[in-house]
């Protein structure tokens, strides 16, 4: 029996996409501006190709221009850097996203650094990282930004809340911690070397799990009434569904945590759908800033 409110990320993401589509229609009508996103994918990773296809479809559904460059796995780093350089100079391209991971022969940090910061809709460029941590206008990584939107929608003012972020990756954990700090939470960043993780977790009003370990966070780690945001996406065997079948689970044991939490995101259908919706939002913001237009609140 669960007592927690299940946070419906699909519904929040659909509402955000609708607000983005409205903003795009207004920008076209009032400024003749159509925000445009270009995605570059290198190699054949099937999961990455699915993500990229979804990004393209949702970009077009929001009324924006979508372009995708699909490059072979053996593409030299210099060719990728030259393409980014060309897109940086193209005034009709407002957002550039390089799908990660890249093949091993390409230096990821060099590629991310080559993207012009005001077109860096993934928010991974060090300039955007620095802006985020110093409280300046930044393009913010999409997954943690989506988590923050869900938290604010559920909790309202986060001021003074005790938050724990489990995971310290550049993509999720660290920017999540920066966003919560900017909302005046008292933030603990936990990671693989953290001692007494269950105890630290039990102190938190807000738990964000971004670890990549199936159902690691147990129900008795959660404080009564806490809000739990589960970023993890882990595929595990599901023999109950039939031979060779699998299913997705988060980093939190949902059944257990839902008995004590005040609210919790499910996997799938929680944080996941917010990521692309936030990418669309970032593209609109980037297009506005590049054209000297006040970006709408989205
Ligand atoms: P990562 O592997 O880069 O980082 C994992 C972090 O977890 C590390 O900082 C590590 O220190 C920490 N960690 C590992 N073992 C731990 C332990 N036993 N105790 C405490 N901390 C531990 O992963 P990531 O890219 O941050 O992704 C995390 C999860 O979120 C993955 O499941 C990933 O699939 C998922 N994810 C989901 C979305 C989405 O759109 N919903 C986006 C990005 C990542």
CATH of the domain at 90: 3.40.50.10860
Q: Which of 116, 134, 158 is the last residue of a domain?
A: 116
Regarding whether 149 and 65 lie in a shared domain, the answer is no
Tell me, yes or no, whether 3 lies in a domain: no
Q: Which of 67, 99, 116 is the last residue of a domain?
A: 116
Report whether residue 194 contacts ligand 1, using a CB cutoff of 6 Å. yes
Q: Do residues 97 and 55 make contact, with C-beta atoms less than 8 angstroms apart?
A: yes
Please state which of the ranges 1-15, 30-44, 50-64 shows the lowest mean pLDDT.
Answer: 1-15
Report whether residue 231 contacts ligand 1, using a CB cutoff of 6 Å. yes
The residue whose CA is least distant from atom 31 of ligand 1 is 212
* Band of pLDDT at residue 2, cut at 50, 70 and 90: low
User: Does the pLDDT of residue 281 top 70, yes or no?
Assistant: yes
What is the signed CA dihedral for 283, 285, 288, 291, rounded to 10 degrees?
-70
Regarding whether 164 and 101 lie in a shared domain, the answer is no
Regarding whether 157 and 83 lie in a shared domain, the answer is no
**pLDDT computed for residue 76 by the predictor:** 98
Tell me, yes or no, whether 137 lies in a domain: no
Regarding whether 103 and 53 lie in a shared domain, the answer is yes
Distance 134 CA to ligand 1 centre (A): 24
Tell me, yes or no, whether 286 lies in a domain: no
Regarding whether 202 and 155 lie in a shared domain, the answer is yes
Q: Which of 16, 166, 192 is the pocket-test mutation for ligand 1 (most atoms within 8 Å of CB)? A: 192
* Residue 290 annotated as catalytic: no
Task: Specify the number of domains making up the chain.
Answer: 2
* Residue 224 annotated as catalytic: no
**pLDDT computed for residue 112 by the predictor:** 98
**pLDDT computed for residue 17 by the predictor:** 98
Regarding whether 158 and 98 lie in a shared domain, the answer is no
Regarding whether 181 and 82 lie in a shared domain, the answer is no
pTM to 2 decimal places: 0.97
Q: Which of 108, 146, 211 is the pocket-test mutation for ligand 1 (most atoms within 8 Å of CB)? A: 211
Regarding whether 153 and 99 lie in a shared domain, the answer is no
Report whether residue 177 contacts ligand 1, using a CB cutoff of 6 Å. no
Regarding whether 262 and 151 lie in a shared domain, the answer is yes
Distance from CA of residue 50 to its chain's centroid? 16
Report whether residue 143 contacts ligand 1, using a CB cutoff of 6 Å. yes
* Residue 218 annotated as catalytic: no
The residue whose CA is least distant from atom 35 of ligand 1 is 232
Cα atoms in the 13 Å half-sphere on the side-chain side of 71: 23
Regarding whether 264 and 223 lie in a shared domain, the answer is yes
Tell me, yes or no, whether 6 lies in a domain: no
> pLDDT tens across 81-99, in order?
999 999 999 999 999 999 9
Regarding whether 220 and 183 lie in a shared domain, the answer is yes
**pLDDT computed for residue 1 by the predictor:** 55
* Band of pLDDT at residue 40, cut at 50, 70 and 90: very high
**pLDDT computed for residue 211 by the predictor:** 98
> pLDDT tens across 52-61, in order?
999 999 999 9
Cα dihedral sign, 4-9-14-19? positive
* Band of pLDDT at residue 270, cut at 50, 70 and 90: very high
Tell me, yes or no, whether 63 lies in a domain: yes
Q: Do residues 26 and 286 make contact, with C-beta atoms less than 8 angstroms apart?
A: no
Regarding whether 103 and 46 lie in a shared domain, the answer is yes
Tell me, yes or no, whether 20 lies in a domain: no
Give the residue-averaged pLDDT of 207-215. 98
State the Cα–Cα distance between residues 219 and 44, nearest whole angstrom.
Answer: 38
Q: Do residues 187 and 177 make contact, with C-beta atoms less than 8 angstroms apart?
A: yes
CATH of the domain at 157: 3.40.50.720
- Counting atoms of ligand 1 from 1, which one is nearest the CA of 234? 32
Output the CA–CA distances (angstroms, integers) from residue 107 to 38, 48, 102, 103, 118, in the order listed. 20, 18, 8, 9, 21
Token pair listed for 52: 């990229």
Distance 211 CA to ligand 1 centre (A): 3
State the Cα–Cα distance between residues 34 and 251, nearest whole angstrom.
Answer: 38
Nearest 5°: the CA angle 127, 165, 143 is 55
Tell me, yes or no, whether 14 lies in a domain: no
Report whether residue 200 contacts ligand 1, using a CB cutoff of 6 Å. no
State the Cα–Cα distance between residues 276 and 161, nearest whole angstrom.
Answer: 27
Domain that holds residue 35: 31-116
Tell me, yes or no, whether 49 lies in a domain: yes
């Amino acid at each position: 029996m669960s007592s927690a409110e299940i946070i419906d990320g699909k519904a929040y993401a659909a509402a955000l996409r609708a607000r983005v589509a409205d903003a795009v229609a207004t920008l076209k009508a009032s400024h003749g501006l159509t925000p445009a996103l270009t995605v570059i994918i290198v190699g054949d990773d099937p999961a990455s190709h699915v993500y990229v296809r979804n990004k393209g479809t949702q970009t077009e559904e929001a009324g924006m221009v979508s372009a995708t460059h699909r490059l072979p796995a053996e593409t030299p780093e210099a060719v990728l850097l030259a393409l980014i350089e060309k897109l940086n100079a193209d005034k009709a391209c407002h957002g550039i996203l390089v799908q990660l991971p890249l093949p091993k022969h390409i230096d990821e940090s060099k590629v991310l650094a080559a993207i012009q910061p005001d077109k860096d809709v993934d928010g991974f460029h060090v300039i955007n990282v620095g802006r985020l941590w110093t409280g300046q206008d930044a393009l913010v990584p999409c997954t943690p930004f989506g988590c923050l939107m869900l938290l604010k929608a559920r909790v309202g003012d986060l001021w003074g809340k005790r938050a724990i972020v489990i995971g310290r990756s550049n993509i999720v954990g660290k920017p999540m911690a920066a966003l919560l700090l900017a909302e005046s939470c008292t933030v603990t960043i936990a990671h693989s070397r953290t001692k007494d993780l269950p105890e630290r977790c039990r102190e938190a009003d807000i738990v964000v799990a971004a670890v990549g370990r199936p159902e690691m966070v147990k129900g008795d780690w959660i404080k009564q009434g806490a809000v739990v945001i589960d970023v993890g996406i882990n595929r595990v065997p599901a023999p109950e569904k039939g031979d060779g079948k699998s299913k997705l689970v988060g980093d939190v044991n949902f059944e257990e945590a839902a008995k004590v939490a005040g609210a919790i995101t499910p996997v799938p259908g929680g944080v996941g759908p917010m990521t692309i919706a936030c990418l669309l939002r970032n593209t609109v913001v980037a297009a506005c800033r590049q054209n000297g237009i006040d970006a709408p609140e989205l």
